[in-house]
Amino acid sequence: MKIIKLLSLFVLLLTTLQYACGQDLKLNELEYFERQGVNVLVYNNLFTGGFNDEKNAGIELIHHGVRTAQGGAVRLSSTPEQWDLVPNIISRKVDRKANSIESTLRYKDYDFESRVVVKAKGKAVEVSVYLDKPVPKELEGNAGFNLEFLPSKYWAKTYLMDDRINRFPRYVVGNTVTKPNSEKLKQFKGYVTSDDRGTGKFIEPLPLETGRTLLLAPDEPEQMVKITSQDADLMLFDGRILAQNGWFVVRSLLPAGKTGKVLTWTIEPNAIKDWKREPNIGFSQVGYLPSQPKVSVIELDKQDKPLSNASIYKIGNDGTATEVFNGKIESWGDYFKYHYVKFDFSSVKTPGIYYIQYGDFKTNNFIINEDVYDNITDATSDIWIPIHMNHMYVNEAYRTWHGEPFKDGYLQAPPNTDHFDIHSQGPTTDTKYKALELIPGLNVGGFFDAGDFDIETGSNIGVVQNFVQTWEYFKPMRDQTFIDQEQRYVDLHRPDGTPDVLQFIEHGTLQLVAQAEIIGHMGLTLTNSVLDNYHHLGDAASLTDGLPYNAELGPYEVAPDGKSSGVKDDMWAFTSRSAARDLRAATMFAAASRALKGYNDDLSERALFQSKRLLKEATELLATQPQDSFDMRWGALGDISTNLQLYISTGEQQYADKYQELLWPALEQNVNFILLTALHAIPHMNPSYKEKLKPYVVKYKDYISELEQDNPYGVPIGLGNWAGSGMIVNFGTTICFANKHFPDIIEARHAFKTTDWLYGNHPYHNYSLVATVGAARPKEVFYGNNRADFSFIPGNVAPGLLFRKPDHFENYDDWPFLWGQNEGTIGGNTSYLIFGSAFKNLIK
């Protein structure tokens, strides 16, 4: 009996020990530190060489399911901004035996290397910085270790620095000093900046607090973190004081003149005992047709045991809720971090107001009715698109969205200029204009690219093509916008007697024809010349002073004749020629010429002329380029579409022959990419063409089946630094057109996968990714030009669920400043316009 009792005690002690050990941070198979409720990533995601600090790299903390800290690295500023230098991670070593990860960080510009070792120690990680050589003299007082915390998860929460109590501010409030620009560390290599606003000084934030022990959010267990420093003071900064997208920064300076281990922090994120992430019950916030498939994908913590059933409740006219359906839960399996189950309630068809009940969790309400999709594109076409019309004054009732921007026009970008938005001007201008010479006539038409105010030529080409396809296939007669090109004035919610889409085609074509006629080919971009203007938020018309820069004048001085100023705020035209871009423009011009005929005949004729000219010249240019060049690879695909559109516009057989010559080999290489173009040709070709295309449609059907095995949502999910809504919208559009022409092969039901995803049936949360569209719970913050207001522009479509390696999807709805998940683009939103039009046509 005693032996049994001792054995029982041993088992109990062993179980307790195992439980305690299970609560310690351990390196998992995906090479990050993990315990239930806490993930510590160590350079699983690297800083980019493009936009430098994108706030999604370094040492990252995913705390109770939300990424709340990032950027852990040796940095050269107390509050790093987007274009500040970031280190290259030149090595990463995982030592499972030591339970540690070591990475070497290098700043090439300063020949400065450091090693960061992160080691799990119980419930905490120890972060140590090693130097083989002392901090370079020019970096003394600048080089320090930073870790940044997400403001939206900490504002209004308390913090303690060495037991002194304070509270994180909701809005940035803090102290700064100004210093001479000669003291500023040069981090904007090669970029022209004017951030001193002519004062010769720059702003430097002061810390909110300084000490050796920092406790963040003791009043909020899900975000509570304790940081202690053995070797140097911890300083807490509010990064928003210099840039609205800044985070709260914890920082320690690296000591001067020392080598070896120079800094050690202990970081202990709190883990709530027995914490499990709440189920994310996916469903369409817009609602459902009575007859459509209705499948909720429920995302579960892997520690959570799936329930066997879920229910649908109907809300009656008296406000009471009644269970009308109870169905089985079917397991799909694991997908990255979570486990997924499905709840099929397709049998619920009676129109009404409903919600889903899964265990103790219930969703907000949704509607089942025949008209739920009727207005899914209205906010995009009525509000978002016209607000993004460049070179126009845009008004909505009592509100001015922006005045007329860029009356001063665009200057020729100088040769060999690298731009902060990843553009560059080549060794020549490829035009007749000299560096910084005004290129007259470009300040007309066009659309802002996204949350900034540049005209990306490639995007605008695709945008006009999207408008033309929407017009030609579906003839939307919706007229809710007053557009006057002569007045350069737009007024929302005010019909003017002309379909809006037709006027959008005209507006985009005006800009692109101007480029072809004035530059001689298609430019790369029309954009800001100085970084200080590029991150401008607010009214686009206030971005420049309306006067060209004159180097002979002092800062903010205006010439006696009033025709120039000393303000470096001009917009530049980057004009390096690309044959592939010219081919894409030729495609668009051919299509636009058809749509504009009978509405703006002069512009129609000019567009058709430029289409033929650019096709001829681009073909000649391609013949001189290497086979593996970018233009050759993309030019071939552009040539397919160009010849198709020219054939549709002119009826000339030479274009049809060339189109088919190029199409079939391209389909063999990548049917998913080119099939939509091939489908658009069906109405214009003989019956044998459709028959020849049929096997490729069967291949696309196989692709749809593969997606159903790949992920629980059955859509193409992007895993890059830009979330995947665009791919999913294109997927839905392809299904709509494939079903139209091949209903016996491609079933209409697959199109609902796209609407389900866009409107809430996706990972992380169940908010609609389209701002304001008839949804009970749409996203409420987006990365637009009003992002500093934590707001949105109606009709915006978010990129969506951003994947953070190795296994985390996210979409912040309380922090708009990550463009890869929250920035709507003119290309993406007009792609949504054609999808929505095709989808509404399909369900009719």
Calpha distance 560→570 (Å, rounded): 19
Helices 687-710 and 671-680 sit at what angle, rounded to 10 degrees?
A: 140
Calpha distance 259→133 (Å, rounded): 6
Q: What is the pTM of this model?
A: 0.94
Beta strands 158-161 and 213-216, pairing class:
antiparallel
Calpha distance 712→231 (Å, rounded): 49
Burial state string for 426-449 with b = 16 or more CB within 10 A and e = fewer than 16: beebbbebeeeeebeebbbbbbbb
Q: Which two tokens stand for residue 212?
A: 């050796």
For residue 551, the model assigns a pLDDT of 84
Amino acid, single-letter form, for residue 418: D
Q: Which two tokens stand for residue 298?
A: 């429920």
- Domain ranges in the chain are 16-269, 280-368, 376-576
What angle is formed at CA 677 by the lines to CA 639 and CA 381, rounded to 5 degrees? 110
Cβ-contact 724, 717 below 8 angstroms: yes
For residue 419, the model assigns a pLDDT of 86
Token pair 């990032």 in the structure block, residue: 70
Residue 560: cis peptide before it, omega within 30 degrees of 0: no
Q: Is 814 a catalytic residue?
A: yes
Of 831, 833, 809, whose CA–CA distance to 821 is shortest? Answer: 809
Calpha distance 596→607 (Å, rounded): 9
Furthest C-alpha separation in the chain: 107
The H helix count followed by the E strand count for the chain is 17, 41
Of 844, 469, 465, whose CA–CA distance to 680 is shortest? Answer: 469
CA dist 505 → 18, 197, 589, 596 (Å): 66, 39, 10, 8
Calpha distance 231→226 (Å, rounded): 16
Query: Which residue in the list 238, 404, 810, 823 is annotated as catalytic?
Result: 823
Calpha distance 312→436 (Å, rounded): 65
For residue 174, the model assigns a pLDDT of 85
Q: Which two tokens stand for residue 641?
A: 């579409």
For residue 19, the model assigns a pLDDT of 36
Query: Which residue in the list 132, 661, 668, 814 is annotated as catalytic?
Result: 814
Q: Is 454 a catalytic residue?
A: no
Amino acid, single-letter form, for residue 797: V
Beta strands 321-335 and 309-315, pairing class:
antiparallel
For residue 636, the model assigns a pLDDT of 57
What DSSP letter does each residue of 820-840 carry, written as one string? Answer: HHH---HHHHHHHHHHHHHHH
CA dist 372 → 397, 755, 757, 817, 827 (Å): 27, 11, 16, 31, 25
CATH, domain range 16-269: 2.70.98
For residue 612, the model assigns a pLDDT of 94
Token pair 């008004």 in the structure block, residue: 395
Phi-psi region of 430 (alpha: psi -120 to 50; beta: other; left: phi over 0): left
Low-confidence ranges of the chain (pLDDT < 70): 1-22, 187-199, 627, 630-638
Cβ-contact 471, 486 below 8 angstroms: no
Q: Which two tokens stand for residue 837?
A: 């039009």
- Residues near 191 by beta carbon (within 8 Å), at least 6 away in sequence: 83, 418, 419, 420, 531
Sign of CA dihedral 810, 814, 815, 816: positive
Q: According to the CATH classification, is domain 280-368 in 3.40.50.920?
A: no
Task: Name the 3-class secondary structure at 418.
Answer: strand
Sign of CA dihedral 238, 244, 246, 247: positive
Span between the terminal Cα atoms of the chain, in Å: 78
For residue 198, the model assigns a pLDDT of 61
- Computed on alpha carbons and rounded to an integer, the radius of gyration of the chain in Å comes to 29
Q: Which two tokens stand for residue 391?
A: 């070179």
3-state secondary structure labels for all residues of 341-387: EEEECCCCCCCEEEEEEECCEECCCEEECCCCCCCCCHHHHHHHHHH
Calpha distance 571→192 (Å, rounded): 13
- Residues near 646 by beta carbon (within 8 Å), at least 6 away in sequence: 586, 590, 611, 612, 615, 652, 655
Burial state string for 349-363 with b = 16 or more CB within 10 A and e = fewer than 16: eeebbbbbbbeeeeb
Of 760, 615, 761, 738, whose CA–CA distance to 297 is shortest? Answer: 761
Q: Which two tokens stand for residue 396?
A: 């909505």
Of 215, 27, 221, 228, whose CA–CA distance to 127 is shortest? Answer: 228
Token pair 């954009």 in the structure block, residue: 527
